[in-house]
Amino acid sequence: MSSSAQWIAAIFGALLLSTEAKADIHVTFIEGAPKDRFEIQNVGACTMREGIVTVDLENSNGALVFDVADGGAGLEVFQPFQIVQGQDALTSLPMVADGQTSVALEISALAPGQRVVFTIDVDDTVGTRSITVTDAEIAGATVSLAQGGIQSGIDKTAAFSANAVAALPVTTC
């Protein structure tokens, strides 16, 4: 190998080694009957520490709301907020009122591959099939992450795509 080829290989190798590891968070919405499901997963290479992940339905295409009580803002079937996986990653459980459009989860630590999963009923308030939410109806809803307090905080927001996934890049390890 020539000296210029060795030099190029050395620089390319250094660039690969300098890539920073991240703790990226993906939030997926899965329509279900009778419960809808949100999965918050660390798809990155390091642990995300101390952050508040907020799912906000306010700007969704379907004007979505959480339907957690009989006779409230939603229609027909209702389902309360319930953590089904990853409760140990949370510092506390949020209270969700009927008709509310956002829920904030305080995460103490979320290791690579780990998930926090919750079920709840989500209803469309403008469509013709209000008890069934399509991926396109959740598009526009957002997920945000706040880390580090008010002064030095890192705030990131991502919108759900038409395939019902929001991806948040997190800080480097």
C-beta of residue 160 within 8 angstroms of C-beta of residue 166: yes
Q: Identify the structural domains of the chain with CATH numbers, from first to last.
A: 21-168 (2.60.40)
**H-helix segments, the chain:** 3-17, 135-138
For the chain, 173 residues long, give each residue's pLDDT as a single digit of tens.
555 444 444 444 443 344 455 559 999 999 988 899 999 999 999 898 889 999 999 999 888 999 998 877 766 788 999 999 999 999 999 999 999 999 999 999 999 999 999 999 998 887 655 556 666 788 899 999 988 765 445 578 999 998 999 998 876 56
Tens of pLDDT along 129-158? 555 666 678 889 999 998 876 544 557 899
Kindly state the tokens that stand for 108: 């103490």
- In sequence order, what are the residues at sequence separation of 6 or more whose Cβ sits closer than 8 angstroms to the Cβ of residue 165? 26, 27, 28, 29
Kindly state the tokens that stand for 98: 């009927």
Rg of the chain on CA atoms, in Å: 20
**C-alpha triplet 37, 136, 25: angle, nearest 5°:** 50
In the DSSP assignment, the letter for residue 68 is -
Helix (H, G, I), strand (E, B) or coil at 3: helix
Cα separation of 139 and 94, whole Å?
23
Q: Specify the pTM.
A: 0.81
Cα separation of 66 and 57, whole Å?
9
Tens of pLDDT along 65-81? 999 988 777 667 889 99
Helix (H, G, I), strand (E, B) or coil at 152: coil
